[in-house]
Structure 1
């Protein structure tokens, strides 16, 4: 997937074919170009063409950046424009987000893949790939814009559908599911050891994602759209088909969770689809650079509210512990869900610097809250200096399928002990949590007060807890907040770890070495060597300091409290770009975003 040399090889033949499709008559072939028969007359041509569809999948850096761009559980260097009061408008929406070029490429293939010299089953296999990618394309458009025009053929320059109105999301979702069902029943490709191509299980897994999203969207958004129960039933069935197929399992071991995100080759037991790196082709990701640089990335760090949701190893809620709210970082992170220590820098975390292993506490030239991510970061500091990371990036893994199945069953009122043990229980067992297979009966008051006051089902509340923890920094959070109608969580304060007092250096990772000290106005005259000093005074240089302590001279770190934030229900959908409406007057703007 995403292999550059394949794209380059495909570009000549595909470009010629699509160019031919753009003429008024498909029979008018450009000179010195490939004919349609050259593309559609052999399996080799079909395979080469469909390689181009993989560009529809996210760029290799997108999965771990998405939650950094817009989520409720992390602080970044600046409040996103989308929720800054008075900043985002219809004029802000990039026209490229409304691009339909990739869809035309797919539709051109589907319409023209009819050459009788290629066996029907072979043609159907590649059409299945095309229909999967059409479904993927449309799901992304639906999530962003809601109603969109459904186009199932390539359009000529004089086609009236170039000025089509928006079709209802009900029609489009039905069409997406129809594409996925057809694709799953016609694709030949079996399991791929590289985990970089579309298989039947990936299609079924994606269907569970689509149906869970739309089923809960219709249930919680109160938009009077029908079919929520049917969609959730389909989500559960698609997920169960993957589970019952027995091709995947949760990888186990003390570092099994983190290994999913730092291995060069996908962990095939669990990863279903991945974007691969290649040193020889110069294709890397930039996770280390993004999560360690003071200037390059968004300086994402988790908030304390989110870190508080990680259970203790005995299975109880951390927020039930007396005095939990005044524990320092080294204390509060002990004996917790093992995923915590494989997601952020904690005691015992080390890195390699020029071949030497060194302790690596949170670094305040990067973090604003103290909860610095390690989930996608390689431990060798060599990789911090640019887009050098060699780890593959997961796009779909078995854990998501288990979470999809659990949530769909809970939403349908069909959760029982066996489903729980198969899904959330299995995930918690890997995380070292005791009594993981016990179906919960009491709603956690912390989760209810801080996150989901509308949830009264204990199992559903715990599923949402584990979904956030298991899938953090994998690009799901804004999608989940949208379908649960909890965009209001984007307005949560960005809080960090507890600081007992000013001018007292703190040891963040319990290694006996002092790491950071917080002060106001003037740094200590005799600083301790190796300690980072952070000003948390009310003002810096005459303006409000964005980093302060909750109680002035002690308390949780807070970042960007003074920046006004806004979220209103219409913001679950982005505005259409102004240019799109100007070019097609039959398009209407999403409610709440005004008119061009």
Structure 2
């Protein structure tokens, strides 16, 4: 307790003094200030601890907020992978409703960057050993680079701030630095951090920034930057992809095993990664966000048991999931059971779908609606209950990871899925209810934030996907690479291995298009590359990578411009649920007086038939107008 108090006191003192020059001038010499508080190892540790808030700061789309729909789900909503269930919840990029911004938008060089630069400026004058100094410089470089990864992705060219700026510093009013030059500086810093970060687990504590975290960030950044340069025609991308391969293979050697899970479900390890009570020691987890009862808790699982959860999947994204035999649904040998029944649609599909979208079922309500329940007289209604496991009491908290039937936080039964609507708990308009963070073992109450499942920040699964994609872009992807990367993920999921020699132009007739010159032309993606990207989309669904990926691939129009539709239904059933059918010939709802007798549920109008759709300018974010007014040297990004 005493040690914690001292650390907090140091942090509070520096936090007050670091941004207030007049306070520094007047404070007594015995007070903790920026000038006298940076001496020991513990001083630096206490000062840098707030930088870990980057992993819960939703400017970075892979970070975690208390509700995933305000955090990691957001990027996949923007990417068109997921949808909002509300009638007003259309994709702002598809319908060109992105508002101009006066401030914010992620343009932030103060909150984290200033703190990091303050720390770095005091290292040389401290009493630490050279090894300790190198360690904290490496930690500072990691956090500085991690934030700059986001700045580069959003804005391209940005100012490079590597010193503590004052209001009269000339750099405050300077121009942006070229994207490639900034990226090269980030790469240089991350590589220096990789080589110089120390092994100070006993001092820093477990689950803190170490060499593996630096390598994971390098793997992510180099793939992102290398493919952005390639597909946005900036050139000089090979060195980034080669660096991605180098560092990814080091991590693959050190993390050779994937987590298989503890529950008796298909793809249990995939699903449990997001709802595990404790990720310490879990195979493949490099770094994670820890949650502790009565200390720091979240609502990510809680909200998915309520009417407040608004994230659903569209039919288009469901179609991306392979059959268990490894074939796309449009492949003539896939054995796809069709879309006209949700039970058939989900049958024999990649089990990762079942851990992301609640599968269909129907049961009878029991006493008090939730104390007991029973199966219906139709054995077909229990198909996915048998696969996922039965929720035997619907209690709060219950037993196990994911179970069917579902219930709200108060234990009230969800007697069937799909459950269409926008108001009641566990409802959605598409029929595909997203439940990635749902668990049965976590307690849930009306105050919300009592969940304690840990969440992965860096894990080997992403690294395997980075390796596979980088190898392809370098012309080095073959069956051996597939077996070391994608097929490890498929083995855990229970999906047939990728056989590279089988993948040809007809393997998936529905594969996507790359748009090298904006929205006016499209080139079919190489069939093998499409399967690599498909694996990434499925494995990382709901984890915040979508908007980064579709933009660096220059494929945003293909994903964002697709009309959002839901499950297949008869017109009579749709009407009973206050829904209408989507008319593909018009791109609009068939309405109540239309001639269609069955079809996919209507969610939103076809954006292209409305004369809307993704704009080329969306690949980079707008620089806030206030920033340009304050600094005329800043040039706005094209199109804004």
Q: TM-score, normalised by structure 2?
A: 0.79
Q: Report matched runs for 1:294-309 at 5 Å.
A: 294=307, 296-297=308-309, 299-309=310-320
Aligned length: 552
Correspondence 1:271 to 2:315: no
Correspondence 1:227 to 2:236: yes
Tell me how far apart the structure 2 counterparts of residues 472 and 271 of structure 1 sit (CA, whole Å).
Answer: 17
Q: Specify the SS of the correspondent of 1:94.
A: coil
- Correspondence for 2:79 among 71, 85, 92: 71
Correspondence 1:496 to 2:580: no
Task: Report what 1:212 is aligned to.
Answer: 223
Task: Report what 1:530 is aligned to.
Answer: none
Task: Report what 1:476 is aligned to.
Answer: 545
- Correspondence for 1:41 among 39, 42, 52: 39
Task: Report what 2:420 is aligned to.
Answer: 364
- Correspondence for 1:388 among 438, 441, 450: 450
Q: Specify the SS of the correspondent of 2:159.
A: coil
The superposition leaves residues 95-146 of structure 1 with CA deviations (integer Å, 9 ceiling, x where unpaired) of 6643523101101111111125210100110111110000011111111111
Q: Specify the SS of the correspondent of 1:309.
A: coil
- Correspondence for 2:574 among 518, 538, 545: 518
Tell me how far apart the structure 2 counterparts of residues 93 and 82 of structure 1 sit (CA, whole Å).
Answer: 19
Do the aligned partners of 1:426 and 1:437 also contact (CA within 8 Å) in 2?
Answer: no
Task: Report what 1:353 is aligned to.
Answer: 394
Aligned CA RMSD, in angstroms, stands at 3.2
Task: Report what 2:599 is aligned to.
Answer: 555
Correspondence 1:143 to 2:153: yes
Q: Specify the SS of the correspondent of 2:356.
A: coil
Do the aligned partners of 1:581 and 1:587 also contact (CA within 8 Å) in 2?
Answer: yes
Q: Specify the SS of the correspondent of 1:273.
A: strand
Q: Specify the SS of the correspondent of 1:319.
A: coil
1:455 CA drift (Å): 4.7
The superposition leaves residues 266-309 of structure 1 with CA deviations (integer Å, 9 ceiling, x where unpaired) of 1621221211212121x222223443433x34x11112222122
1:448 CA drift (Å): 4.7
The superposition leaves residues 350-392 of structure 1 with CA deviations (integer Å, 9 ceiling, x where unpaired) of 5563357862334323212111122111125853742332111
Task: Report what 1:104 is aligned to.
Answer: 114
Decide whether aligned partners of structure 1 residues 480 and 248 sit closer, same or farther in structure 2, where only a CA change above 3 A counts: same
Structure 2: runs of 5 or more not aligned: 58-63, 360-383, 407-416, 422-426, 515-521
Decide whether aligned partners of structure 1 residues 372 and 86 sit closer, same or farther in structure 2, where only a CA change above 3 A counts: closer
Tell me how far apart the structure 1 counterparts of residues 156 and 19 of structure 2 sit (CA, whole Å).
Answer: 30
Task: Report what 2:19 is aligned to.
Answer: 19
Do the aligned partners of 1:549 and 1:557 also contact (CA within 8 Å) in 2?
Answer: no
Tell me how far apart the structure 1 counterparts of residues 10 and 100 of structure 2 sit (CA, whole Å).
Answer: 36
Task: Report what 2:55 is aligned to.
Answer: 57
The superposition leaves residues 418-442 of structure 1 with CA deviations (integer Å, 9 ceiling, x where unpaired) of 2110000111111112244655432
Structure 1: runs of 5 or more not aligned: 504-516, 524-532
Tell me how far apart the structure 1 counterparts of residues 10 and 624 of structure 2 sit (CA, whole Å).
Answer: 31
Q: Specify the SS of the correspondent of 1:433.
A: coil
- Correspondence for 2:556 among 475, 484, 487: 487
Q: Specify the SS of the correspondent of 2:43.
A: helix
Q: Report matched runs for 1:528-567 at 5 Å.
A: 533-536=577-580, 552-561=596-605, 564=610, 565-567=612-614
Decide whether aligned partners of structure 1 residues 438 and 83 sit closer, same or farther in structure 2, where only a CA change above 3 A counts: closer
Tell me how far apart the structure 1 counterparts of residues 6 and 477 of structure 2 sit (CA, whole Å).
Answer: 45
1:170 CA drift (Å): 0.7
Tell me how far apart the structure 1 counterparts of residues 201 and 467 of structure 2 sit (CA, whole Å).
Answer: 21
Decide whether aligned partners of structure 1 residues 571 and 28 sit closer, same or farther in structure 2, where only a CA change above 3 A counts: same
Do the aligned partners of 1:369 and 1:497 also contact (CA within 8 Å) in 2?
Answer: yes
1:67 CA drift (Å): 3.0
Tell me how far apart the structure 1 counterparts of residues 506 and 591 of structure 2 sit (CA, whole Å).
Answer: 30
Q: Specify the SS of the correspondent of 2:430.
A: coil
Correspondence 1:286 to 2:290: no
Do the aligned partners of 1:53 and 1:133 also contact (CA within 8 Å) in 2?
Answer: yes
Task: Report what 2:528 is aligned to.
Answer: 459
Do the aligned partners of 1:550 and 1:558 also contact (CA within 8 Å) in 2?
Answer: no
Do the aligned partners of 1:218 and 1:226 also contact (CA within 8 Å) in 2?
Answer: yes
Decide whether aligned partners of structure 1 residues 207 and 258 sit closer, same or farther in structure 2, where only a CA change above 3 A counts: same
Decide whether aligned partners of structure 1 residues 162 and 325 sit closer, same or farther in structure 2, where only a CA change above 3 A counts: same
1:8 CA drift (Å): 5.0
Q: TM-score, normalised by structure 1?
A: 0.84
The superposition leaves residues 131-190 of structure 1 with CA deviations (integer Å, 9 ceiling, x where unpaired) of 000001111111111110001101122211110110001111011111101111111137
1:454 CA drift (Å): 3.2
Tell me how far apart the structure 1 counterparts of residues 452 and 509 of structure 2 sit (CA, whole Å).
Answer: 37
Q: Specify the SS of the correspondent of 1:202.
A: helix
1:226 CA drift (Å): 2.9
The superposition leaves residues 432-490 of structure 1 with CA deviations (integer Å, 9 ceiling, x where unpaired) of 12244655432455465445563553331111010000000000000000100011021
Q: Which moved more, 1:269-278 or 1:55-64?
A: 55-64
